[in-house]
Amino acid sequence: MRRCDITQKGSKMFKQTAVALALAFSFAVAHATPAEYCQSLAANVQKELPSNQDEITRLVTVSCDGTVLHADFVVHDVPAGKNLDFSVAAAIVRKNVCNVPGTYLGKGVTSLYTYRDVNGNFIGQFTVGPGDCSNS
C-alpha cells in the first residue's frame, strides 16, 4: 500500500482546495446575519457535491451549524487508523483563504475542515476563522 504523506502532498493539495472553497463559498447570496449567510453558503456548495479536490481528497458534504461551516472530506490512500498532523495543511489553507478577497471569513463565518479515511475513520481537522486573517 502506498503511504500518503500529508505534508508532502499537502502543499499543492491544500492550496488548491483552499482557494477553490474560498471562491465557491464567497459567491453565496448575502444575508442579514452570519448564520443566514452560512446556511445559504452550505446549500449552494452542497448542490455541487461530492467533488474531487485533488487526486486523493474528495469533499463529500458541507453543512452549517450557526456560523460554523462544516466541510467534510474523505482522503484516499491514508494508512488505516492513522491520525495525521494537519498543522501544515491548516497553515496552507489559512494563508490561501485569507488571500482571496471577499471570502466567507469577512461575513463572520468560520469553517471547520474534517478529514476521514474511506472507512469513515477520523484522521484530522482544523478551523479557519475570521481572526486567522488579521495578521495577513
In three-state secondary structure terms, 130 is helix
Instruction: State how far the alpha carbon of 13 is from the alpha carbons of 28, 31, 56, 89, 134, in Å.
Output: 24, 31, 9, 9, 24
| Domain count for the chain | 1
- Residue 59 maps to a domain: yes
For position 60, what pLDDT does the model report?
95
CB 63 within 8 A of CB 35: no
- Residue 136 maps to a domain: no
Dig out the grid coordinates for 12 from the structure. Answer: 499543492
For position 135, what pLDDT does the model report?
52
- Residue 1 maps to a domain: no
- Residue 133 maps to a domain: no
Mean pLDDT of 29-33: 61
- Residue 95 maps to a domain: yes
Q: Residue 109's closest CA among 130, 132, 95?
A: 130
pLDDT in tens, 5-23: 444 444 455 555 555 555 5
- Residue 23 maps to a domain: yes
Region of poorest pLDDT, from 7-11, 29-33, 82-86, 103-107: 7-11
Domain that holds residue 74: 6-128
For position 25, what pLDDT does the model report?
52
Place 132 in a pLDDT band, splitting at 50, 70 and 90. Answer: confident
Residue 104: CATH number of its domain: 3.30.300.250
d(Cα 130, Cα 102) in Å, to the nearest integer? 11
